[in-house]
């Protein structure tokens, strides 16, 4: 975990979401508008088990595709939900508030990666027709 994350006070479950996002940053999926997708965090009401009636935030970007169905996502992540791997909240409002904040953390990651991928700005090349005296003579 880097210094930035350690200062945020993330729960282990929230940290799992950030790590899932980071693992997909170099090869993200794309949404309908062409934007990169690394996690597609999706809140679902837990239909059964010890957390029944509570809300969990799980990755909706699974296996290189976006899964929209809450039932399908519950089937995919049930074992991990029961094990407490993903963040669980008492209400959908609490889940949405925390996911909104976590999304800002992940947006920061994406912006940093994009900045690192852009070449550094350099001085424009001089036109080839301009003569430069090898001894530095500029003229009168």
**pLDDT per position as a tens digit, 28-80:** 999 999 989 999 999 999 999 999 999 999 999 999 999 999 999 999 999 99
Cα–Cα distance, 52 to 66 (Å, whole number) = 24
Tell me if 137 is assigned to some domain.
no
Q: Is residue 43 part of a domain?
A: yes
Task: Decide if 125 is inside a domain.
Answer: no
* pTM assigned to the model: 0.78
Residue 70 lies in a domain: yes
Q: Evaluate whether residue 22 is within a structural domain.
A: yes
Tell me, yes or no, whether 38 lies in a domain.
yes
The proportion of the chain whose per-residue pLDDT surpasses 90, expressed as a percent, equals 62
Q: How many domains does the chain have?
A: 1
Report if residue 89 sits inside a domain: yes
Which residues 6+ apart lie within 8 Å of 64 measured at CB? 29
CA atoms of 117 and 136, how far apart (whole Å): 37
Range of the domain at 105: 3-117
Positive or negative, the CA dihedral 17, 19, 21, 24 is negative
User: Does a structural domain hold residue 63?
Assistant: yes
Residue 114 has a pLDDT of 80
Q: Is the pLDDT of residue 84 over 70?
A: yes
Name the DSSP class of 125: P
């Amino acid at each position: 975990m880097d210094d930035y994350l350690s200062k945020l006070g993330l729960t282990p479950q929230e940290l799992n979401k950030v790590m899932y996002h980071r693992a997909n940053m170099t090869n993200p999926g794309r949404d309908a508008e062409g934007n990169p997708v690394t996690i597609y965090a999706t809140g679902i009401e837990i239909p059964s088990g010890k957390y029944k009636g509570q809300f969990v935030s799980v990755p909706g970007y699974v296996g290189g595709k976006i899964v929209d169905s809450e039932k399908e996502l519950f089937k995919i992540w049930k074992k991990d939900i029961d094990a407490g791997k993903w963040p669980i909240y008492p209400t959908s409002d609490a889940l949405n508030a925390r996911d909104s904040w976590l999304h800002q953390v992940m947006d920061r990651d994406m912006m940093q990666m994009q900045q690192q991928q852009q070449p550094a700005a350099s001085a424009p090349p001089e036109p080839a027709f301009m003569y430069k005296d090898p001894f530095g003579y500029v003229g009168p």
